[in-house]
Amino acid sequence: MEKIKKIGVMTSGGDSPGMNAAIRAVVRTCAFNKIECAGIYRGYEGMIEGDFIELDARSVKGIINKGGTFLKSARSKGFRTKEGRQTAYDQLKKANIDALVVIGGDGSFTGALLFNQEFGFPVMGIPGTIDNDIAGTSHTLGYDTALNNAVEVIDKIRDTASSHNRLFFIEVMGRDVGHIALNVGIGAGAEEILIPEEDLGLERLLESLNRSKQTGKSSSIVIVAEGDKTGKNVFELKDYVNEHLPEYDVRVSVLGHMQRGGSPSCFDRVLASRMGVKAVESLLKGKSNLMVGLISDRITVTPLERAIKGQSKINKELIRVSDIMSI
């Protein structure tokens, strides 16, 4: 691998709190090592169009506390084609960019891996997604912030639930995994948590709600992961409970994208900083096709292919804790 003199940094896929902090870390680690850094606007689409900006240590001041990504993110149909990737490669070479740091999820990493395989272009990944669904790290950027955002809102909803003796079904994000739902459910004191990894079943849900009623609970919170496998979405669940337990006054709240917004937590800011430093230093050591991750509070690297194809594991102990806490 030729000596790296300039690194490009981009954000791709869904935004997540901590992405700006990670960009800042990449840029300042480049400055510390006396190499250039370029920001790539709008992910792979911006790469194809050559939408680059030169970044130095002062360019990224005041962004560590900002949510979202100032480099923007966009889907790119063009990058899915060989011609589009060739154009992207030509644009990078024209701008004298020697390596890439890609901040995103599995789709972004899949594109980076393919790009490396076709052109031998050095790439490093930083996992940025609130879903925490990437193998090779215990925490992705934005996950901790999303948990705190959700718990804060659910605490407010509980005030209303208690005042009116209501049952609330609250849907949280997470796509096909239940990390957010499980942790938020325990943190917010939910009576039940519905996640894709554990098919609770509608009958058990009714039994649980009946038991709660009999033990004196006047209000209940049920957290539903958006990928839950009961076969019903959160509004259908409301109708189902209304039909079988008419004594409940049921409401639905879908938290949606508010979980992805806002200022990143201290944990996410520190994690982003550590990951950004590791990504740049790994490239400068001649490493490529790796994703930076956090394992047992140590910053480690995992092959991109393993991170993409692997599955993040749900914490079985948390499921047991949830069952005990919901008594």
**What is the spatial distance between Cα 157 and Cα 154, in angstroms, rounded to a whole number?**
5
Count CB atoms within 10 A of the CB of residue 119. 16
Kindly state the greatest CA–CA separation across the chain.
Answer: 71
User: What's CA 154's distance to the chain center, in Å?
Assistant: 20
Start-to-end CA span in the chain (Å)? 59
Residue 180 CB-density burial (10 A; 0-12 exposed, 13-18 middle, 19+ buried): buried
Which residue in this structure is represented by tokens 């709008």?
42
Q: What's the rounded Cα separation, in Å, for the pair 122 and 289?
A: 7
Q: How far apart are CA 174 and CA 179, in angstroms?
A: 7
Structure tokens that stand for 144 in this block: 């901790």
Structure tokens at 221: 């919170």
Check if the beta carbon of residue 104 is closer than 8 Å to that of residue 18: no
Where in the sequence numbering do the catalytic residues fall? 131
